Amino acid sequence: MVEQQESDKAEQAREARRRGAGVVAFLVGLFVTLAFFAFWPGLPHIIDWGAVLAAMVVGGLARWSCRSWMTRTARKKPGSL
């Protein structure tokens, strides 16, 4: 019974880390893409809706790749499920 509770707490902690890392990855992807569109020489220095949507897509891809990488590495660790 105690082992089950400890396992559940460890899984909840792992999921909280994955969620937090996903949020950070999304924000980094979003801001990096917006910075690219805002400061790249030769592009119009206007953030339009297309740039915002592209930044959101890049942020989503960054979040997805971060969460999948964390899941894959957690499976490789000994003692994880």
Per-residue confidence in pLDDT tens, the chain, 81 aa: 666 677 788 888 888 999 999 999 999 999 999 898 888 777 666 678 888 999 999 999 999 999 999 988 888 876 555
Q: Report the 10 Å Cβ neighbour count for 59.
A: 21
Q: Which sequence spans correspond to the domains of the chain?
A: 25-74
**What's the angle, vertex CA 70, arms to CA 78 and CA 75, rounded to 5?**
30
Tokens of 46: 């206007």
Residues in the chain: 81
